[in-house]
Structure 1
Amino acid sequence: MLSDGFHNVPAGKIAMVVTDLEMRVPQLRDVACPDGVRFEQINPDVAQYRDLFTRVGQDWLWFGRSVISEAALAEIITDPLVHIYTLTKDDNAEALLELDFRKNGECELAYFGVTAPLIGTGAGAYLMDRAIELAFLSGIDRFHLHTCSIDSPAALGFYRRSGFIPVRRSIEVADDPRLKHGYDRALAPHVPIIEG
């Protein structure tokens, strides 16, 4: 059990407050698809997936899919119980929606986000409606996700407005990907680099 008070995070690491959220009954906002945008399921190879993952998440230091081996990532994204979707604009994939049905009766919203050209267009709310529809069409009892304090400052509020309810909070400590995994040091200026 973590005691009250301050706890030092080692140099070269980042600490995140992780909030787990869930939805038990689908709640749709009926948001229209933005003009010039198309929703589609995709079957990317590892390179295509990593490109999209990076373009959507690098500003928020997403690293979970970047630090695993190509073989491990391929195993995940080719699993028939993992479904990947995007929003395309001008024939470019500009969003990542990854639904993980590998746990019976549940769906995890494993990754969700849009690239900079779609931020503020309503594309995120439209994509979330599709995520909720697809998750509950499969007959699940629980749709869940986690977000953290280094993600977009708008993320937690967006998930709550979408109908997800916070159910648990934890602290995650990990290697700072800007130091350990070659991420651009200018990324995520809201999370200062602490070097040893």
Structure 2
Amino acid sequence: MTDPAQLNAKPCPEGLSVVEAEEKEFRFNRYLYQLVGEPWQWNDKLKESDETWQEYAERDGLRTWVAYYRGAIAGYFELERQPNDEVQIAYFGLAPRFIGRGFGGHLLSRALQEAWQWSPCQRVWVHTCTLDHEGALANYQARGMQIYRTEVDTPPSPDEPT
């Protein structure tokens, strides 16, 4: 997304609130990553040390928001400052029990709004892949994001070392 006017925001469902975790705590980010990412095989970062997590999550260039529904964590997103006045939605998703309740559209809308308000910002982007929820790409596009690039990874042949 290269212009905030492209955003097709979805309103907030009743009972949902989205709050920035202004007090940074790397253990909380690790918990959110595991809670939201487990069904989508987000496991590469779980092997990282406390020091690596702390360096990642508690730096100035990363901000975290959490969606709550009736006191329970419904999802979260992280925004990461990039070079050239860009903001990446580093992680985004819902906790498994909250998928299909209409929360994803609003949570993504908030992620995009917050990214654009993190001045200066010239572009907001996110990576997705076929391992993500089948509705992820449609949600990104429905909110006004456009596909910038696609890549196809070719798995190694059985006789190639991995």
Give the shorter-chain TM-score range: 0.7 to 0.9
Distance change in 2, residues 1:90/1:154 (3 Å): same
CA RMSD of aligned residues (A): 2.1
Task: Note the C-alpha offset of 1:172.
Answer: 5.2
Partner Cα separation in structure 2 for residue 30 and residue 93 of structure 1:
21
> What is the DSSP-based 3-state SS (H/G/I as helix, E as strand, rest coil) of the residue aligned with 1:66?
helix
Q: Is the 8 A contact 2:9 2:143 kept in 1?
A: no
Partner Cα separation in structure 2 for residue 172 and residue 50 of structure 1:
27
Greater Rg by CA: 1
* Greater length-normalized contact order (CA 8 Å, ≥ 6 residues apart): 1
Partner Cα separation in structure 1 for residue 70 and residue 144 of structure 2:
31
Q: What does the per-residue CA deviation read over 1:145-164, in whole Å, with 9 as the maximum and x for residues that have no partner?
A: 11011111111122122211
Greater strand percent: which structure?
1
Does 2:109 align with 1:140?
no
2:20 is matched with which residue? 41
Count the aligned residue pairs: 153
1:103 is matched with which residue? 83
> What is the DSSP-based 3-state SS (H/G/I as helix, E as strand, rest coil) of the residue aligned with 1:74?
helix
Does 2:95 align with 1:115?
yes
| Superposition misfits of 4+ residues, deviation over 3 angstroms | 171-174
2:9 is matched with which residue? 30
Partner Cα separation in structure 2 for residue 170 and residue 31 of structure 1:
29
Partner letter of residue 62 of structure 1?
W
Give the TM-score taking structure 1 as reference length.
Answer: 0.70
Does 2:54 align with 1:74?
yes
Q: Which runs of 5+ in 2 are unaligned?
A: 156-161
Distance change in 2, residues 1:102/1:74 (3 Å): farther
Q: What does the per-residue CA deviation read over 1:2-61, in whole Å, with 9 as the maximum and x for residues that have no partner?
A: xxxxxxxxxxxxxxxxxxxxx101233332212221110014523322222111111110
> What is the DSSP-based 3-state SS (H/G/I as helix, E as strand, rest coil) of the residue aligned with 1:93?
strand
Q: Which runs of 5+ in 1 are unaligned?
A: 1-22, 175-195
Partner Cα separation in structure 2 for residue 70 and residue 96 of structure 1:
20
> What is the DSSP-based 3-state SS (H/G/I as helix, E as strand, rest coil) of the residue aligned with 1:40?
strand
Partner Cα separation in structure 1 for residue 102 and residue 7 of structure 2:
14
1:61 is matched with which residue? 41
Partner Cα separation in structure 2 for residue 103 and residue 115 of structure 1:
30
**Identity in percent:** 27
Greater helix percent: which structure?
2
Partner letter of residue 27 of structure 2?
A
Q: Is the 8 A contact 2:20 2:66 kept in 1?
A: yes
Q: Is the 8 A contact 1:114 1:124 kept in 2?
A: yes
